[in-house]
Amino acid sequence: MRSKLFLLLSLLLTLPVSAEFLQGDALIARAKQFASELEPDAHSALTGLERTYKVEVKDNKVTVYGHKIWFYPTTASVQNNAYESIYFNQLNEQLTVLTAASITPAGKVNYVNESHQKVIAEDTYNTFTETEKMIVSFPAVEVGGITLIAYKIEETLTPERPFWSIRSYPQQTADMLNYSFEAQWDDSARLYFDNTSELVSCEQQPARVFCHAVNLEAAESDSVVNWGDQLGQITLSTEPDWQAVKAQVRPGFVNAIENNQGVQPLVDEFADSADGKQAQIQRIFEFVARDIRYVSRSEAGYDIVPHNVDETIDNRFGDCKDKSALLIAMLRAINIDAEPVLVATKRERPGMAGAAAVGLFDHVVVCFNFAGQQYCLDPTDPYTQWQSTSDWIQGRVALNLSNDASLTTIPRPRYRWQLTAQSDITITPEGGQQEFVTLTFLNEYASLMRQNMAGLSQPKRLEYMVDVYHEVANEDAEPVFEISGVDTMSSRLTTHSETIYEPYFNPQQGISLAENDSWLRGELSSSWLNNEVYGQFYPGFLVESEYKIQVPHEWALNRFPPDLNLEHQYGKLTRSYRFEEGDELDTLYVSTTLSMPSRYLAVEEIKAFNDLLNVFYKQAPITFGHDS
């Protein structure tokens, strides 16, 4: 039945030569025509009947028209999808909803009014874009019904902001029976076109492009998917290449950084309290990341341009652009050749970026080379030490504004999560134990833990670590914690815990024990990958575990954990032990290292990767005892 419907609609819309934008009565008539031709059981999920975009550029004014028609065959589709989200930039674009309504199976039209429309901010804390989302909630949607919407987004190109771009994804997470995209422009703005989708056919002329597709199946979902990198896209932009993008953005940074009379006094002050170049970098970075608070400042004229460095110093606030410009000025004052780097925080594959466009990027960081290594610092991150890279920008598509390079990515470390665990356990003659554990979270892991605890009071921080202990080690234990490193930007965050366990076995019935190496197992258990359709990047972890286990000498231990040297292309597990006898207590020392380097895993590799995690997980317990 589905193929019959596809054929019917394909015949109805065979080989259009332009995108026909509809609104008002014409759009309602089109939707009713679709409804009259639908078979009740043709679809089992939300289905797009038509999605059309038409772009017109005339006299430096850009207008994007769009209309969509959706069919709702099930209760779930009504409950989950009976709304439309339209994204726009509030600073530069004007959004107008032209027509929006639902049509019941009986043919009744229910129009959207202003109370059904809501605009909410869409951008995250660290980004500089001012994207907003209009949510249109369709009234009176019924199973078997249809919704429709037509809108336009207008923007005027100016000498201060002469750039513009649009990205459209033909394939989405619902079937789409008919898709079309058309753009036409005059001499006021030359547009550059790129298509990375193999599902649409496009015709390009000197001042026009038209793309069309029918019967687009829904993209398969998965546990972790970056849709911007996964789905093919159509891109239009006023920039011919990435050098043109740099030419639009770089002058604003140059001007902001040059206005820096307040920089040298600050740098001189920090130099007096910092011993050596690394300490100076750390002190400067801490100042910009922590003493200059984050405030979004992408008002008109400053959406891609930072405010002057001196203004940021005086205000003691700024957004990522402002903080990056200040950091660059201060680093250059100590002869560090730092540069601004644009970041697309939602993209990881340069090859899927499409046409060059300023609009690809939503963040800026500072990169430089020091002692033969590249560092990229995010001055909006008050938790990560400067020699580590903020985890949320690792591997993201980037564009250095100060060299001739094209797109690249922010470097990733070999291991994002690094942890050392030192456990000192004394087992009593009665079968209880006293345990002291020191955990040291390193680099990005220290940053994550610091971020989780920074806003908590000291009692709440201790409660947080008790909860972590319960989740990883023993949910019935009552550990007592001390924590250091939360309020600094160091590369380490350390916790110390003491736990007393009442007797849990009877030594008179035999000595056969297993210590789970809980912190190692905890990292393993959080590393399983669940994707079944798409490949997935694994960020890597390194755990170094040291156990000192003391037992009564009279137990005469003679069974010890095996030495391990398990190596695979995905990771390595090694373990060794040393046993020392004493007069009253014997001591078993066990050293374990588990390394799983970061890497991209194709979907066909994920099962083998998870199988290796299972092997390592089973080897984690430290077994020892006395065999008669």
pLDDT tens-digit series, residues 141-200: 999 999 999 999 999 999 989 999 999 999 999 999 999 999 999 988 899 999 999 999
pLDDT at 13 over 50: no
CA–CA separation, 182 vs 152, rounded Å? 14
Nearest to 420 by CA among 395, 396, 389, 443: 443
CB neighbour list of residue 496: distance below 8 Å, 6 or more residues apart: 436, 437, 438, 481, 482, 483
Residue 335 CB neighbour total at 10 angstroms: 7
Residue type, 105: P
Are 265 and 337 within one domain?
A: yes
Structural domain boundaries, residue 11: 2-238
Q: Are residues 368 and 430 in the same domain?
A: no
Tens digits of residue pLDDT in 69-115: 999 999 999 999 999 999 998 888 999 999 999 999 999 999 999 99
Q: What is the pLDDT of residue 297?
A: 81
> At a CB cut-off of 8 Å and minimum separation 6, what does 202 contact?
193, 195, 209, 210, 211, 212, 234
pLDDT of residue 11: 34
CA distances from 514 to 213, 232, 318, 623, 625 (A): 61, 52, 54, 4, 8
CATH number of the domain enclosing 233: 2.60.40.3140
* Claim to verify: residue 620 and residue 480 sit in the same structural domain: yes
How much is the pLDDT for 22? 85
Among 194, 231, 248, smallest CA distance to 346 is for 231
Q: Of 238, 263, 282, at which residue does a domain stop? A: 238
Q: Assign 123 a pLDDT band (cuts: 50, 70, 90).
A: low
pLDDT of res. 17: 55
Q: What is the pLDDT of residue 442?
A: 98
CA distance 201 to 256: 45
Please enumerate in sequence order all residues whose Cβ is within 8 A of that of 465, keeping only pairs 6 or more positions apart, or say none. Answer: 479, 481, 483, 495, 497
Cα(37)–Cα(45) distance, integer angstroms: 17
Q: What was the pLDDT predicted at 35?
A: 87
Average pLDDT, integer, range 313-319: 95
State whether 393 and 436 are in the same domain: no
- Answer for the pair 125, 117: CB distance below 8 angstroms, yes or no: no
| Domain CATH number, residue 280 | 3.10.620.30
Specify the pLDDT at position 300.
67
pLDDT for position 412: 97
Domain boundary among 238, 257, 281: 238
| Domain identity same for 233 and 247 | no
pLDDT at 341 over 80: yes
Rounded alpha-carbon distances, angstroms, from residue 581 to 442, 551, 558, 571: 34, 10, 11, 34
Helices (H), 420-535: 444-454, 458-472, 518-525
Res 15: pLDDT = 43
Do 97 and 14 belong to one domain? yes
- Which sign, positive or negative, has the C-alpha torsion 279, 281, 287, 289? negative
pLDDT reported for residue 18: 64
Q: Is the dihedral of CA 558, 559, 561, 565 positive or negative?
A: positive
Per-residue pLDDT reduced to its tens digit, 527-566? 999 999 999 999 999 999 999 999 999 999 999 999 999 9
Lowest mean pLDDT among 31-40, 118-127, 207-216, 388-397: 118-127
Q: What would the pLDDT profile of 239-288 be if each residue is shown by its tens digit?
A: 999 999 999 999 999 999 998 899 999 999 888 777 889 999 999 999 99
User: If pLDDT is split at 50, 70 and 90, which confidence band does 299 have?
Assistant: confident
Please tell me whether residues 310 and 443 are part of one structural domain.
no
CA distance 25 to 359: 34
In terms of Cβ atoms closer than 10 Å to its own Cβ (0-12, 13-18, 19+), residue 582 is exposed
- Check residue 125 and give its pLDDT: 64
Confidence band of 4 (pLDDT split at 50, 70, 90): very low
Same domain, 350 and 265: yes
What's the CA gap between 175 and 400, in Å, rounded? 38
Per cent of the chain over pLDDT 70 is 96
Name which of 119-128, 140-149, 383-392, 605-614 the model is least confident about: 119-128
Spatial distance between the Cα atoms of 167 and 237, rounded to a whole number of angstroms = 9
3-state helix, strand, coil in the chain (%, to 5): 25, 35, 40
**pLDDT surpasses 90 at 322:** yes
In this structure, are residues 80 and 73 in contact, taking their beta carbons and an 8 Å threshold? Answer: no
Which tokens is 111 given? 């129009």
Assess contact for 104 and 110: CB atoms under 8 A: yes
Decide if 436 contacts 469 (C-beta within 8 A).
Answer: no
d(CA 50, CA 66): 10
State the pLDDT confidence band at 5, using cuts at 50, 70 and 90: very low
Q: Which two tokens stand for residue 393?
A: 């920008």
Q: What is the mean pLDDT of the chain?
A: 93
User: Does the pLDDT at position 2 exceed 60?
Assistant: no
Contact 364, 128 (CB under 8 A): yes
Please state whether beta strands 317-318 and 293-294 pair in parallel, antiparallel, or not at all (unpaired): parallel
Same domain, 494 and 507: yes
**Type of residue found at 135:** I
Q: Kindly state the average pLDDT of the residues 478-497.
A: 97
Please, what sign has the CA dihedral across residues 545, 479, 449, 486? negative
Asked if 91 and 227 sit in the same domain, the reply is yes
What pLDDT is recorded for position 253? 95
- How far is the C-alpha of 120 from the C-alpha of 218, rounded, in Å? 27
Which of 204, 221, 238 terminates a domain? The answer is: 238
- Regarding whether 615 and 539 lie in a shared domain, the answer is yes
Residues 445 and 490 in one domain: yes
Residue 226 has pLDDT above 70, yes or no: yes
The number of domains in the chain is 3
